[in-house]
Amino acid sequence: MKSISLKFILLFLAVAASFTSCTKTEINPGPNDERAAFLGRWSVNETWTKLAYEVNITADPGSTDGVFISNFANTGSSGTPAGAVVAGSSIILDADQVIGEGLTINGSGNLSGSKIIWNYTLDNGADLIHAIATYTKL
């Protein structure tokens, strides 16, 4: 009887440990990670909407150079984030990805100090919108 209960306890502990190892962890890039300067909250001023809004840039846990940008082009922070890669002081959107309500995006930005200057296009299927945005670190 003790053998069965010991086996049960060990099995329970193994299952419990596997659930705790699946929890989402925050990615904290090291000092040599080029993404570090891009991560965080940014205030955005954009030419095509003439609106000010915020975005949040987080590290892609499945990549060494990838990031996610929530609320890109003011599409809402609960939607699919825009994916991008960081190379030095540049950030390049993943080509032809669709965000928001069917917007295909392309473009890139350059980091200088605490600002990212973006040039990108938004294609809604009817119009190709050329946008320039300035992100300022909060």
What are 72-103's pLDDT values in tens digits? 999 998 889 999 999 999 999 999 999 998 99
Give the integer Cα–Cα distance in Å for 47 and 137: 18
Domain limits for position 47: 34-137
The CATH number of residue 70's host domain is 2.40.128.20
Residue 24 inside a domain? The answer is no
Number of domains in the chain: 1
Residues of the chain with pLDDT under 70: 1-31
Give the integer Cα–Cα distance in Å for 31 and 120: 29
